[in-house]
Chain A
Amino acid sequence: MIRIISLVALIIIALVAPFFFYPVFLMKALCFALFACAFNLLLGYVGLLSFGHAAFLGSAAYVTGHSMKVLGLPPELSILAGTGAAALLGLGFGWLAIRRQGIYFAMITLALSQMVFFFALQAPFTGGEDGIQAIPRGYLLGFIDLNNQLTLYYFVLAMFVFGWLVIYRTIHSPFGQVLKAIRENEPRAISLGYRTDQYKLMAFVLSAALSGMAGATKTLVFQLASLTDVHWHMSGEVVLMTLLGGMGTVFGPVVGAFLVVTIQNYLAQLGSWVTIIQGGIFVVCVLLFRRGIVGEAMALARKLRKKPEKEDAVS
């Protein structure tokens, strides 16, 4: 019951939010929330820390921007193209990276994404340092004008909800159970007969594709695709969002993304303070609360629920 009420409340908040907050800020936060959720699928549920997810966000942004601006494709096809490009890239990255675990996996993904960064810096169609600017938003399905801020907001919201539901379904499917088994004990999963490499690769591609979807949507919002999206600092930022919100929880990355974007938004005038604060949050999270905000909250709730039961038992 409480769950349904809070879900309804959440939906209402999401629907009316653009009347109270700056819509571009909300849209940015939603895009990053989707990005963080996609990333969390890999970190939180398979136990693989990728340090190169910016490559998927950024390459999808470039492909979407290019299809919209140069090829003149409609937004739905452009987003599809961006997502597809990210998925393909994810297949290549994943094939190379899943050979190793832990730190090695992180290093490999980082280096591969750096390759994508330098490619984006030099390839003619990305515009290098200038990026792709003035990308038109176009008409969704030919008749919905995305230039209207409100329309665009609901479109972004829909994309986020769609992506989130895909992740939610994946986690709670038999496939997701196998992923969790791999996270807990990979040799055991292998001995049970699962081809873990295939599962890991599939999870990687799915995570890359959804990150790409986030990047593609972001391009429509900002009408700009730039090097920031492929830089390794972006890969670090998504780790921060997930860690802060709580890895391995379905809502954690969303909370983390909203918090980080809020910090960026309101402290942008202060320049490098944003970096300092982000670094500080990292350190505090790793040292003091590794479960993240949502993770800690859930642990607390569990504790509170258990306590009365115990007291009952005593009395």
Chain B
Amino acid sequence: MFELLGIPPQVLFGQLLLGLINGAFYATLSLGLALIFGLLNIINFTHGAQYMMGAFVAYLLLNLLGIGYWPSLFLAPILVGLVGIVLEKTMLSRLYKLDHLYGLLLTFGLALLIEGAFRQMYGVSGLPYPIPDVLKGGQNLGFMFLPNYRAWVVVASLLICFATWFLIERTKLGSYLRAATENPALVQAFGINVPRMITLTYGFGVALAGFAGVLAAPIYSVNPLMGSNLIVVVFAVVVIGGMGSILGAILTGFGLGLVEGLTKVFYPEASNTVIFIIMAIVLVLKPAGLFGRAR
């Protein structure tokens, strides 16, 4: 058996693969955040709670209505997105004229409120969600045993990221969105309903979080606090990628997952901090982020 730098290959490739899986979640979540930030200029602190809600909606659909994983993968994001739209319409939209910090504070408060409510109802010990039958079992890749479901997570998140990128960068609708990000007043003057666009963008970003939540449900147990620590890492990912940059969010999401995996091989103690260290370095060298433009 050959070794690389004294590391057995099954450890190296295994951790890289697990890193890629984590990266899939980072990418999907930071994509939603970046979309919202681009148009609304708000850091959506509720994103972690909305990710958790995605998982819970899937859990409840299964246990109350008997709706399985595959329909939930579409239904849950839509439901979570609708909740997001209601929040935007009733609360967030009142704050656009104020300092953007108020948006941050409001979404932070909402995150506490939502997480607290779910904790009160379901405890924090975690609820099980079964892996769909088609994806049970796994593949022996030689260096490790890869559960089919985890491979699916990477594929699904790549698909949704690509679709979102395509929608925004290559379609007419996307061009309106990009224009509105640059200059909302001008786009409004062209007769496009910018407030509605903002609402829908928020809903879509939140739905992405819900989607990630459904993906996560069978891997991690469904837990009210599942998003609360993840979200801070995702913030760092967004800052590194450049706030508001779609491609930046996707690439840094996957990239940082891999970096984290590598760190687990060579210096596990730093695996939790490495993303924040990279963030500090990026801020010093390129304050707008790797893919961002200074505003």
Contact = CB atoms under 8 A, between A and B. Distances in A.
Task: Please determine whether chains A and B interact with each other in the same assembly.
Answer: yes
Interface of A: 49, 51, 96, 99-100, 102-104, 106-108, 110-112, 114-115, 118-119, 121-122, 232, 236, 239-240, 243, 271-283, 285-287, 290
A279 B100 contact: no
A111 B91 contact: no
| 7 A-B pairs with least C-beta separation | A282-B109, A279-B113, A279-B112, A275-B116, A276-B116, A272-B119, A118-B272
B1 to A, nearest CB: 31
B283 A279 contact: no
Interface stretch (B4-12, B66-74, B231-239): B231-239
B116 A272 contact: yes
Interface in B95-144: 95, 98-102, 104-106, 108-117, 119-120
B243 interface: yes
Interface stretch (B155-163, B165-173, B174-182, B274-282): B274-282
B53 to A, nearest CB: 14
A271 B99 CA distance: 33
B106 A278 contact: no
Contacts of A49: 101, 104-105
Contacts of B183: none
Nearest to B289: A104
Nearest to B228: A233
Contact of B110 (A122, A236, A279): A279
Contacts of A108: 239, 279, 283
Judged by DSSP, the binding face of B is: helix
Nearest to A118: B272
Given A102-B101, A122-B269, A115 B43 contact: no
11 contacts: A103-B101, A108-B279, A114-B236, A122-B272, A239-B108, A275-B116, A279-B115, A280-B113, A286-B102, A287-B94, A290-B98
Contacts, number: 126
B148 interface: no
Nearest to B119: A272
Contacts of A96: 280, 283-284
A179 B284 CA distance: 24
Contact of B114 (A110, A119, A279, A285): A279
B287 interface: yes
B193 interface: no
A283 B120 contact: no
B127 to A, nearest CB: 16
Interface in B19-44: 41-43
Contacts of A275: 112-113, 115-116, 119
A110 B104 CA distance: 12
A103 B43 contact: yes
A286 to B, nearest CB: 4
B104 A106 contact: yes
Max count, chain A CB within 10 A of own CB: residue among B106, B238, B283: B283
A280 B95 CA distance: 17
B273 interface: yes
A49 B103 CA distance: 12
A290 B102 contact: yes
Contacts of B120: 271-273, 276
A276 B112 contact: yes
A111 B232 contact: yes
Given A104-B239, A111-B232, A239 B105 contact: yes
Nearest to B235: A107
Interface string B74-90: 00000000000000000
Contact of B104 (A103, A272, A276): A103
